[in-house]
């Protein structure tokens, strides 16, 4: 699950600093979601340090 909370992104219960995704808008792509509906989404990804795991992880952000 991904949700935006001001300066943080919540990913599966973990809070990750949102500064990167504010500065890098991402790429527009058409994706298929529930029941085959096609929508245009902004897709961004980055390898960011996640404090609770003490290592870098690949974080993917979708906004549609």
Which residues on adjacent β-strands are paired with residue 5?
8
Q: Which of 5-9, 18-22, 31-35, 54-58 bottoms out in mean pLDDT, i.e. has the lowest? A: 5-9
Q: Rounded distance, CA 23 to CA 18, Å?
A: 9
Reported as a single tens digit per residue, the pLDDT across 8-25 is: 555 665 655 556 777 777
Q: Bridge-partner residues for 44, per DSSP?
A: 61
Task: Output the pLDDT for position 32.
Answer: 93
Residue 5 or 14, more confident: 14
Cα 55 from Cα 37, distance rounded (Å): 36
- Provide the pLDDT for residue 50: 79
Work out the number of other CB atoms within 10 angstroms of the CB of residue 16.
Answer: 21
* Per-domain boundaries in the chain: 25-64
Kindly compute the dihedral angle of the four CA atoms of residues 35, 36, 41, 44, in this order, to the nearest 10 degrees: 90
């Amino acid at each position: 699950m991904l949700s935006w909370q001001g300066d943080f992104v919540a990913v599966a219960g973990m809070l990750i600093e949102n500064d990167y995704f504010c500065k890098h808008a991402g790429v527009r792509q058409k994706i298929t979601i529930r029941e085959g509906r096609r929508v245009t989404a902004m897709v961004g990804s980055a390898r960011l340090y996640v404090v609770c795991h003490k290592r870098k992880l690949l974080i993917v952000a979708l906004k549609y």
